Amino acid sequence: MSILVAGGAGYIGAHVVHDLLDRGEEVVVVDDLSYGDASRIRDAKLVELDVAADGAQRELFNTMVDEDVSAVIHFAARKQVGESVEKPMWYYQQNVGGLANMMSAMRDANVGNMIFSSSAAVYGIPPVSVVEEDIVKTPINPYGETKLIGEWMMADCERAFGLRWIGLRYFNVAGAGSNDLGDPAILNLVPMVLDKVEKGEPAMIFGTDYDTPDGTCVRDYIHVSDLANAHIAALDYLTSGKEMEYHTFNVGTGKGTSVREIVDGLKQVIGRDFAVEELDRRAGDPPQLIGDASRITEVLDWHAQYGVDEILQSAYSAWQQGPRPIA
């Protein structure tokens, strides 16, 4: 029996692949390597495939049968908010189409367990700063919409053919489980600050006039190793056969950290001051977005082990091993 990890060569997926291999699971990674890196998956089997491509459903089915797959962890998706606004149909084709291929193959191959990478983006700009899973969900961009649709698709498949599924709604993921597993993309706050510092340019703060304690946006930062561990907890829960009262879980800490606190934290970790430019608000940013973690703690017995200090320390340490260390 093996676990199929779609998108397993990516930043978060590779952390989960390592955890699965460490506990002796057979792992087959399906990844198109557009962002993923084959060197990150150790000796797991790799099937190079875009899950949204024509013919992917058949190839996924064959892989599931050949590898005796018992569960799927589905990371494979596009995840850039701005790009999703510019190319909405491509996001639907990739994220929704890819998931449809995966679940059709699962139905045909009788694979009954699915863990799906959802996102706090399903909440859009919520009416409260600490969000529980059941509040109204109004995503404000195609990326978030594809994630909410993904959850609906899995609920539909549960009704249609008994799929057992969990959607994990990630909050702000950062850090690295080891120096070779850092986030290679420069798309989120922590890598964006490190990138600017390395280039000798000022780090950017988007908006200092929010109604928050220090005027900058507040987010719930989660260490990627903790997030990986939440997938293992979810997998154990799914495969335990227990009756499932809940399917969606926030993977957050219940604690908020401001953009300014992250920037100041990075100054501490790097060990020196650096220039910071205070810019206008970025469109579409909710002032505060924090995940209530009660449900995942109670049901999956999961809670974050690491705090912001370890997140920043590990992100910096991995950055320094990469191609552009900060001098």
| Closer by beta carbon to ligand UDP, 270 or else 299 | 270
Cβ atoms of 25 and 9 closer than 8 Å: no
Name which position in 30, 217, 238, 312 contacts ligand UDP (CB under 6 A): 217
| Closer by beta carbon to ligand UDP, 172 or else 250 | 172
Alpha-carbon dihedral angle through residues 34, 221, 138, 142, given to the nearest 10 degrees: -20
| Closer by beta carbon to ligand UDP, 41 or else 131 | 131
**Angle 117-67-64 from CA coordinates, rounded to 5°:** 55
Name which position in 75, 91, 116, 206 contacts ligand UDP (CB under 6 A): 206
| Closer by beta carbon to ligand UDP, 3 or else 12 | 12
Count of residues engaged in binding ligand UDP, rule: CB under 6 A: 12
161 backbone dihedrals φ, ψ, rounded to 5°: -145, 25
**Smallest separation (angstroms) from ligand UDP to the CB of 252:** 12
**Smallest separation (angstroms) from ligand UDP to the CB of 290:** 11
| SS3 state at 77 | coil
What are the DSSP calls for 117-158, one per residue?
A: EEEGGGG-S-SSSEE-TTS-----SHHHHHHHHHHHHHHHHH
**Smallest separation (angstroms) from ligand UDP to the CB of 178:** 22
Comparing C-alpha atoms, which of 154, 110, 162 is closest to residue 247?
154
Residues 143-202 that bind ligand UDP (CB under 6 A): 172, 188-189, 192
| Closer by beta carbon to ligand UDP, 48 or else 209 | 209
Active-site amino acid positions: 143
Residue 219 is a binding residue for ligand UDP (CB under 6 A): yes
**Smallest separation (angstroms) from ligand UDP to the CB of 238:** 27
| Contact mark string toward ligand UDP, 237..276, x via CB under 6 A | ----------------------x-----------------
Alpha-carbon gap, residue 99 to 11, rounded angstroms: 19
Q: Kindly report the number of other CB atoms within 10 A of residue 108's CB atom.
A: 15
**Smallest separation (angstroms) from ligand UDP to the CB of 126:** 12
Residues 281-310 that bind ligand UDP (CB under 6 A): 282, 285
- What is the sign of the dihedral through the CA atoms of 220, 274, 203 and 176? negative
> Which residues of the shown chain bind ligand UDP in the complex (CB under 6 A)?
172, 188-189, 192, 204-206, 217, 219, 259, 282, 285
